[in-house]
Amino acid sequence: LATGSPEEARRWFDKEFADLECEPSNPMGKVLIIDKILNVARYGGEQRFIDRKDWATRFSRYTALALGRDTVRIDVVAFNIGY
């Protein structure tokens, strides 16, 4: 986590959220960073993590930076993040 900033991570998730045409979990309110992370993982799909190692590495790095955590567990099916 030595390189990058939480703001850089938020910008990356904003771009990916838009590029993947993610739908907000709550269409009436503000989209939180946790919702963006979960939706980018869901809309990106398992195959993207397998085929695009560079993307998967950025996803992991920016998730940790955005949440300020060294270890993060993402359960896409349950739409849940654990620390």
Residues 15-64: pLDDT tens digits?
A: 999 999 999 887 787 899 999 999 999 999 999 999 999 999 999 999 99
How far apart, in whole angstroms, are the C-alpha atoms of residue 39 and residue 30? Answer: 14
The whole-number pLDDT of residue 26 equals 78
* End-to-end alpha carbon distance in the chain: 16
The whole-number pLDDT of residue 71 equals 95
* Cα-based distances in Å from 25 to 9, 17, 28, 36, 46: 20, 12, 9, 9, 19
